[in-house]
Structure 1
Amino acid sequence: MSRRALTLLVAGFMVLALGVVGALMKVPYVVLSPGPTENTIGEVDKKPVIAITGRQVYPTDGALSLVTVAYQGGPSSRIDLMTALRGWLDPNVAVVPEETIFPKSRTAKQVEEENTVEMANSQDNATAAALTELKIPYSTVVTVLSTEKGKPADGKVQKGDEINAIDGKKVTDVDMVRETVRALKPGADVVFDVTRGEKKLDVTVKTTSGDKGATMVGMTMQAKYKFPFKVSISVGDVGGPSAGLMFSLGIVDKLTPGSLTGGKSIAGTGTITPEGEVGAIGGIAQKMVGAKKAGATVFLTPADNCAEALKAAPDGLRLVKAETLHDMVTTLDSLRQGKTDLPACTPS
């Protein structure tokens, strides 16, 4: 073999080797793809997604499906360059910087824990929104979620304490407690009337100065609801708050006579507040693909996601603009009656 041929052979081998190594190189990106789709008025593993006890429920049909996004990658299991390249070439997949899903300020475990908490809060908010829509009374309590070590509340209040009043004023929500504390000067005493188990206690805590000089006591709170009957939601390994709207619609459907869907396969997404306001979500393109694959013909789309959704909507999937739960209940009623004048996503 000539020296020239040998040189070309070695060079070619090196290029190939570098190409293989480069393709297998780990990169800080995450691949987002259509995830599982679950019918909120159906079953998962032979168990109802939404189970209601202590209140009359009615038969349902059709589907009110939540949609999800699956991800591949992350700080603890980074994808290789070849996987990222395949994702960039797939129109149904998004490849995003790792920090989009896993901010550097939080670990992967913390992100997963936050998603779990958000899903639990979403289910509570969805139940509250459905009962608000149906004018079924319920109450709200503010509970202590955690205390910050070394801060005044640490050792004074405990996780699970229900805060009934602060300085003699009845507590209405988390913001009311926070604003009352912030209105005090650092070093002032504040009295919390709490329920701990079966006991009622008055707990005095001295305030301190926190970040940017704001007065604080060092505890994290959350609103918890007391509903007149039990609503259990189970969807397996799904996290985040984006299924709120579909949970609410599923609960409304089960608590009211007749079929909300009219037998149709309807999918959608959107966060929900206890008042029934629908909020924007991420991964709308992948969620629409998942909805279409699951057989949905109508997709309930948060108003703030409409512009993005219009650019990526699969053929045959009708986009309905969702702003409130009440609007969606009314819209599904119109759809069931065959009406065509529905709130739609339109180009801005």
Structure 2
Amino acid sequence: MGAHAHGSGAPAPARSQAQAPERLSIQLNNDRMTLAITKVPQVYLYGVIDADAPQRFAAMVAEGKIPTGSDIYLNATSGDLQAGMALGRLFRKDAMVTHLGTPRRSRLATKVNKTATCVGACSYAYFGGLYRWVPAGSDRFGLPSYDAVAAQKSEDVAAYLKEMDIDLGPLTATLATSRDPVVWLTTDQMLSAGLANNARLPLTVQSLLSPPAPSVTLDQVDRNGRHRLVIQCRPGQLTITSFDMVGVGAAREILRRGTRAYIEINRQETLLQPPGGARAVDDAVTMMHAYPPTQIGHLLLARNIGAWVDGKNKSFRNGFVFELDPVREDLKKYYSACWKAAPWPTD
């Protein structure tokens, strides 16, 4: 069921409403329906990020109420910067996922349809998410223009940003020259600057460019597992091998329910695997496809490549897609290596 946490210890002396200090509220949603859908609790942090908020949050983690990989929803417009960073470190330590969102009103109510706002200390807490979703709907994420530039110059903030692999450099000019106290970032700005990753870590590439069989391996980790594509060229032959490393049990279940397996190029189904072609190998769903060597340019210049397994019910679809722009230069070098090692007909 839902729960709220507001600290522990002996009761404080009664205060009037005007005298009560502002504190961060923590709403824990771990009811059966939530866990059936998301597999992990949803934790809403809202209000003011006070200096003691990290201690209250850490206590709930230590008690097992907030497990590894939980979804954290933030809605705070003011607070203690050091506390925001401390919360961020707690999120990263346990691979938590940060979103913007407003809390539920009651156990039976759905999420309230109102804007969540994250700025200042909340922004730095958000950066702690291993996976960070861009704001949805009318939710807003902002950085105080002058304060954000000044904060980057402090050693502790600089160390925190480096620890979280966050680089505000691309936004420094915007923050420094803005006439507004807060710069509200678009989803495109957040994604292009790496502030948000929509539940995917950066795509990595490893190339072996020497003959007789140059290969390139693309890897990406996301919330659902690890995914890999290996492209290899030989004289007269080009193969694409996919690995969807989702765990032994999940791999077997995907193949049990799946009826079609295929490669997508530019979101279009391109290579259909014959029945039984997709296999469970250790913890992965894997399949190998032959691809026309003369079409290697189309393949390596594609915007994206995906590998999928569908079921009879179209709502069942498991797999992954790689956006290739971040590794475009590596793919161009691989194209040249393939041409040198295994030239294809030009007719």
TM-score (norm 2): 0.24
Structure ranking higher on relative contact order (CA contacts 8 Å, 6+ apart) = 1
